[in-house]
Structure formats: C-alpha cells, structure tokens
Amino acid sequence: MDKKYISVLVKNHEGVLARLSSLFCQRGFNIDSLNVSATNDSSLSRVTITTSGSEEEIEQIIKQTKKLEEYVGIFELEPKDSLIRELLIIKIAQDAGNRSSLLELATIYNAKIIDISVGSIVFELAGKPAKIDSFIENLKIYDIMEMCRTGVTAIQRGNVKLVK
C-alpha cells in the first residue's frame, strides 16, 4: 500500500495529540510518522500524519477526525500537489580510512556536516522521505552510531489553504 499523508489543523488544547493518535489506534491503523508543528496562528497546530490504507479507510479516519472537539480542518495531501519533507540527523563512526568516502556521499546527497569529532561525524539532511531513505541505505556499510528523523511535514502547493 502507498503512503498516505494527512494534514490536520487542530486547536491547541491539552490532550489533542493523544485523542488524535487514539483515533488511529482504535481503528487499527499504524502511524508511520507523526509531526506536530506551530502554524501562523498561535492558537492552532498542524499535525501531519503518514500512514497506509485504502481510500475507504482514509475517508473513515477523516470522518472520525472531524468529530474531534479540537478539529479545525483536515485533508489528504497528494504528493504531486504537495511539498513533503523530512529532516534526518545521523552520526557515523569515522576515521582517516572512511572520512573521504563519507564526505563524498554527503556531497552527492547535499547533506550538511554539523559536527566532526574524534571518531564520529554528524550529518543533517532535509528532503523527501525517499531521499532520506536512500541516504541511510548508502550509509549502512558504515557504523551508524545514532540517528533520528523528524517525521514528515508537508504543505499543499499553490494558493490553497487548509481552512478558509
């Protein structure tokens, strides 16, 4: 099943994230990625959820989400009409033997070096989830010491607003 991206605008109330994620859990949906972010209105937050499911299942989740007290707006983001990004920070063990190949890989992916220490190098990479996946896959031949991904954040292209 293809990944589905759902954007939800909610009021900033205590427990709203728990109620929203509980909605998914109760219906047996897995949340692949969950990102909560501030908006241009301090009373609202944007929740970007990455999941998998049929069109009918996604429609059901959207209908159920609209019943939440904190609900302001929701829609599925189509990848062709949206800007979908993620951030990765990854620490790799490095020494004189692998440093140049790591730097070359970083250049290919346009990753930033944000820390170099004795024995390790830390990269930052922002981009589409597929680019992040590919970068990680190419780094698997090295010793990945730590990594963290933000989860997807997304916004629709053009002159479209989540709530009018």
Give the mean model confidence (pLDDT) for residues 82-105: 96
Give me the half-sphere count of Cα atoms (radius 13 Å) on the Cβ side of residue 62.
16
- For residue 81, give the nearest of 152, 157, 19, 160 by alpha carbon: 157
Output the pTM of the full model: 0.85
The per-residue pLDDT for 1 is 65
- Do residues 48 and 153 touch, judged by C-beta distance below 8 A? yes
Q: Which residue in the block uniquely carries the two structure tokens 């909605």?
A: 23
Q: What angle do CA 107, 131, 74 make, to 5 degrees?
A: 140
Instruction: Give tens-digit pLDDT for 97-125.
Output: 999 999 999 999 999 999 999 999 999 99
Instruction: Give tens-digit pLDDT for 40-58.
Output: 999 999 999 998 888 888 8
The reply to whether domains 3-77 and 83-153 share a CATH topology is: yes
Please, which residues have CB within 8 angstroms of residue 21's CB and are 6 or more apart in sequence? 31, 34
- For residue 22, give the nearest of 84, 70, 56 by alpha carbon: 70
Give the mean model confidence (pLDDT) for residues 129-134: 96
CATH of domain 83-153: 3.30.70.1150
Instruction: Give tens-digit pLDDT for 3-23.
Output: 899 999 999 988 888 888 888
The per-residue pLDDT for 26 is 83
For the chain, what are the domain ranges? 3-77, 83-153
State yes or no: pLDDT of 163 exceeds 80. no
The per-residue pLDDT for 107 is 98
State yes or no: pLDDT of 128 exceeds 90. yes
Instruction: Give tens-digit pLDDT for 56-82.
Output: 888 888 888 898 889 999 988 999 999
The per-residue pLDDT for 101 is 97
The per-residue pLDDT for 89 is 98
The token pair at 60 is: 């059901």
Give the mean model confidence (pLDDT) for residues 78-99: 95
State yes or no: pLDDT of 149 exceeds 60. yes
Per CATH, which fold does 3-77 belong to? Answer: Alpha-Beta Plaits (3.30.70)
